[in-house]
Amino acid sequence: MQLYQANVLLSTTNAIIYSVGTTKNETMTLSRGLITDLIAERKARKHQIESYLNELRGREPLTEFRDTDWLAMVDYITVHSKKDIRVTFKDGTEIKA
């Protein structure tokens, strides 16, 4: 998935840069920088998720609802119908409730 996103980003960037008339070497340098930035963002996000999971492992089991945990994990809820409710977590995982 990440490779696909990088390729789409690279293709889009190349099209935009070529349209303003830069050289191929300049395009490759800029594209490499964008991909490097994308990788750095993903690594930072991975570290953030791992830190949060380590914190959760050290806690007592949940016995009651805590809004701080809910807000830390859930990104949004989508209601398609009364019988089709989906929860999307901040890591992109989606479950049907």
Structure tokens at 18: 């070529």
3-class SS at 81?
A: strand
DSSP 8-state assignment for residue 65: -
Alpha carbon distance, N-terminus to C-terminus of the chain: 25
3-class SS at 62?
A: coil
pLDDT computed for residue 1 by the predictor: 47
Strand partners, 31: none
- pLDDT by residue for the chain (97 residues), tens only, comes to 444 454 545 555 555 544 454 555 655 666 777 888 888 988 998 888 888 788 878 888 878 888 988 888 899 999 999 999 999 998 888 999 8
* pTM over cut 0.75: no
